[in-house]
Amino acid sequence: MSVTAFIFSGQGAQHSGMGLNFAKSDSVISGIFDRAEAARPGTLAQLSAEDPEILKQTENTQPCLYLADLAAALYMKKLGVSPACAAGFSLGEIPALAFAGAFSFDEGFRIVTERGRLMGREAKKHDAGMAAVVKLSNETVEEICARHKLYPVNYNSPGQLVVSGEKADLAAANEDFRAAGGRVMPLNVSGAFHSPFMSAAAADFSEFLKSAETVLPEIPVYANLTARPYDAAPALSLAAQIDHPVRWEETVRSMAEKGVDTFIETGVGTVLSKLVAKIVPGARVFPVETPEQAEAAAKEVLAC
């Protein structure tokens, strides 16, 4: 019998209309979207915005993507698919925790809105960004980063490591990455996340989380910070996650070691699906961002 994990998308693949197809198909999901709009007026308009720059701004990306991720997971659950565990990439960890019962859906939206505000605030202080470096070992990327004041931040998969830093430093390092045999791909984000550029946001988020009602998740949720399941209420790890690396490759391997052989990417795009395919080549992977994809995935998963 297969063992399934839900993996929740992070920033970068956001697009106009994400999640709205699920809200139109399910009254419970629609209610979550309506309450989010009441708590943060303008959210639904941002979800529908044609200008990609609106959703690129992290203070908008994060609450909107939270809704899209959570909607896909709830729709899968409605179809009868219940995961043995879950994980989320960066921002995706918050909808993963909400889905797993660490806090209410509405509390999760409040949490992610403040996270996005704080990270967006820090992003505006620097002309910084992120880029994925592929085809190089982690050690080679780390060594080049040290020479260029860059930070290795997302350990995504074998041969893919994301780095953060000032855009001028990223540009200066490109030649060294390429000379070593690598390829550099800028990411569609507005700041140098998971690096010391976000330390003030992490500190303020830690204070904010003291007011949040969080408990141990009802199913295991693997933390970006440790690549292991939460063993306590998530407030401390969620704050530290903002300015520490995402250990995604290790997280996926940890889930596979516990018997997970089926990964359902709930949310937006196929980024995590492609990473899982590289990390655990024999795993079954299903990206789900439409009701039709959800129904097809559920049919296959439930047949095993």
Active site residues: 90, 194
Q: What angle do CA 47, 195, 63 make, to 5 degrees?
A: 15
* Rounded Cα distance, 296 and 304, in Å: 13
- Token pair of 6 as six digits: 């839900």
Characterize 153-169 residue by residue with b for buried, 16 or more Cβ atoms within 10 angstroms of its Cβ, and e for exposed.
bbbbbeebbbbbbbeeb
